[in-house]
Amino acid sequence: MKKEKSVQLHRVIGYFHGTIFLVSMIIGAGIFVSPRGVLKYSSLNVGVSLIIWAVCALVTVVTALSVAELGTTFPKSGALYYCLKRSLGPFIAFLFLWVELFNNPASIATRSLFLAGYVIQPFYSGCSVPEVPKKCLALAILLCLGILNIRGVKDVTWFQTTATVVKMTILCIISVTGIMLLVRGRKENTARFENAFDAEVPDALQVTEAFFQGLYAYSGWAIITNIAGELKNPTKNIPKCVVTSLTIVSLIYLLVNISYLAVLTPEEIVFSDAVAVTWMDKVIPSLQWAVSIGVSASIFSSLNCSIFSVSRILFAASQEGQLPLIYSTLNMHSCPAVAVIHVLISASIMIFPSDVLVLINYVGFTMWLQIGFLMVGLLKLRFLEPNLPRPYKVCLPFVFGTIAISLFLVLTPVIKSPNMHHIYPYLPCPSPWSTSWAVSGASYHLCCQIWRQPPFPETSSFAFF
């Protein structure tokens, strides 16, 4: 009995900090990168891009509320993995785990490189940042995040609260300033909205790509179910945290994008590497330092949440027997330290150049494939185990709607731009781990993107799909 108690995570995260975790995880690099991608794949059509942002918010809410049922039904760490194992069997659960083992560390590595380059750029004014110092700083960032996570939940929640306040302040400044500029009614600020739909209308494939870019900015909401084992009263707090955080984030994102368009032309946004910095340079140049702090805090706190969430999936997989038992051991701070170290080592190995927009499309493809399986598993449990305690039940139209969205986002690129990599399980890749990494077409894309030097050129708007 004592041994059983020693491997249980403590429920110390309440409603407030659960909401902070969600807001902090969702608002990362996405709002500073995705506006560029959404406009690019919307054919610079302002009206279509704003509609896509609004629809992405609605889709995220519907999907998150559907997945929330799994977290309340199985209120334990790694709830999504556990649900797949229980509903669709250990093989599907292992595939989900296998993708997570490389998908999340790759995303963490890319964001740490982005943050490192952003921080170090002022020291190399007028020229590109050398790769060696950028990689070293990225490794240092990962090391700091690892130490913070190993110190336990209390230190992590304290840091997340502080970082969330910082980045929300910056985004509120951008939002309020943009609205004030529109209220003043100056021609240069309102011109983009008067003829919002005059540009070319994108086709179905471009719309799918734009959705991937927009949904990337909303990604991260699943963290609340992955950390359900550390939530107080998860059956009530998971749905409440989801509704509260996504309402806040959706409103902020829409206002920030309107503010960007009130100051910058679509062309300026598409060709900007840091939209918020370009915006601030035109509006309040003296506060550029504030944007830099806000962007850094956003990415740093989002990285911290990612490491926290992924380590809990490895913890759950270890308890279910699909990873070595050592991954479920806890240190004196009740943290699965071995799982955290594994994530950091994997991300450190992946510190290689990647194309951000291509990676976003890859992450979106695999994420929505996983969501489709989760919804199928939810329906199967509803049918086979109708008496299973479900403190919160999402209405079935939301579940079927999520499945339809998943099919659209996964199948459209396959149908419109077919590639053997979608169905062929292995192709040789120039990496010492090529055989194990190329278990799926998507993993093959990521493997080659990380290890090939230089990175693949972007031959089309949807290069790898």
DSSP letters along 194-209, please?
HTTT-SPPP-HHHHHH
Q: Mean pLDDT lowest for which of 49-53, 286-290, 363-367, 448-452? A: 448-452
Provide the 8-state DSSP code for 8: P
pLDDT per residue as tens digits for the range 422-462: 443 333 333 333 322 323 333 333 333 333 333 333 333 32
- Round to whole Å and give the CA distance between 99 and 92: 11
Q: Mean pLDDT lowest for which of 56-60, 194-198, 421-425? A: 421-425
Give the per-residue pLDDT at 247: 92
Report whether 116 contacts 138 (CB < 8 A): yes
Where do the domains of the chain lie, and which CATH numbers do they carry? Answer: 2-451 (1.20.1740.10)
The type of residue at 33 is V
- Round to whole Å and give the CA distance between 309 and 291: 27
- Tokens representing 238 are 């998971």
Give the per-residue pLDDT at 321: 86
Tokens 């982005």, located at residue? 114
Quickly list DSSP for 92-159: HHHHHHHHHHHHHHHHHHHHHHHHHHHHHGGGGTTSPPPHHHHHHHHHHHHHHHHHHHHT-HHHHHHH
Statement: residue 46 has pLDDT above 50? yes
DSSP β-bridge partners for residue 13: 231
Backbone angles phi, psi at 47, to 5 degrees: -60, -45
- Round to whole Å and give the CA distance between 84 and 438: 22
Mean pLDDT, range 343-351, rounded to an integer = 84
- Round to whole Å and give the CA distance between 99 and 193: 41
To the nearest 10°, report the CA torsion of 34, 39, 40, 41: 90
Backbone angles phi, psi at 231, to 5 degrees: -90, 140
DSSP H helix total and E strand total for the chain: 20, 0
Please tell me whether residue 77 adopts helix, strand or coil conformation.
strand
Average pLDDT along the chain: 77
Mean pLDDT, range 136-153, rounded to an integer = 88
Give the per-residue pLDDT at 294: 78
- Round to whole Å and give the CA distance between 52 and 453: 34
- Tokens representing 5 are 């108690």
Quick count: other Cβ atoms within 10 Å of Cβ 259? Answer: 25
Mean pLDDT, range 94-102, rounded to an integer = 83
Report whether 279 contacts 292 (CB < 8 A): no
Exposure letters 423-462 (e unless 16+ CB within 10 A, then b): eeeeeebeeeebeebbbbbbbbbbbbbbbeeeeeeeeebb
Q: Mean pLDDT lowest for which of 129-133, 160-164, 343-347? A: 129-133
